[in-house]
Homo-oligomer: A and B are copies of this chain.
Amino acid sequence: MNLSELKELFDLITERNITEFELERDGVKVKVKKGVVTVNGAETLVENAPVARAEPEASAAVAGVPEPAPLAAPASATLDEGLTVVKSPMVGTFYRQSAPGAEPFAAIGDRIKKGQVLCIIEAMKLMNEIESELQGELVEVFVEDGQPVGFGERLFAIRES
């Protein structure tokens, strides 16, 4: 079987909405499975396998959903090659500077050092300074100054270096 044959096979599979296919030449083993294909929340209704049936199906199979995707660690997660997201460790109000009118702790394009204060999150009347755990370049700020943030909400993206 060469690549063009494989391509043809894949086209056929796609066209026929087959979700599982097995073939063993010697011993003549064929296995075809079709079902509902769920990709990115959109589902494709698939007809049944073209196997002749002697009697009506007693009941339709009940599909399940996959378990929720494993949640990203609240601290940081890889966004792209080299990009790390800093998330809010608490519920509160996000401030980019120490006082109204002051310079922001960090601006886009700034070099960030480990331990450098990135922002303040005010929770229960206390100002919590959020420090960077890594060094790199500040690439993005996801939240506007003065906005409320929930636990695990994205605050910054840093390109580590």
**Nearest chain B CB to A147 CB, angstrom units:** 17
Q: Do A35 and B24 touch across chains, with their CB atoms under 8 A apart?
A: no
Q: How many copies does the complex hold?
A: 2
- Looking at A7, A11, A12, A54, which has the most chain B CB atoms within 10 Å of its CB? A54
Would you call A161 an interface residue if the criterion is a C-beta within 8 Å of the partner chain's C-beta atoms? Answer: no
Query: Which chain B residues lie closer than 8 Å to A3 at the CB level?
Result: 1, 5, 8-9
User: Which of B5, B25, B55, B69 touches A27 (beta carbons < 8 Å)?
Assistant: B25
For the complex, is A124 an interface residue (Cβ under 8 Å from B)?
Answer: no
Size category of the binding interface on chain A: 35 or more
Nearest neighbor of A23 in chain B, beta-carbon distance: B30
Asked if residues B54 and A66 are in contact (CB atoms below 8 Å), the reply is no
- Which of A1-54 touch B at CB < 8 Å? 1, 3, 5-14, 16-41, 43-48, 52-54
User: Among the listed stretches A79-87, A107-115, A128-136, which one makes contact with chain B, having 4 or more residues with CB under 8 Å of it?
Assistant: A79-87
A30/B55 in contact, CB under 8 A: no
**Set B12, B21, B69: member contacting A60, Cβ < 8 A:** B69
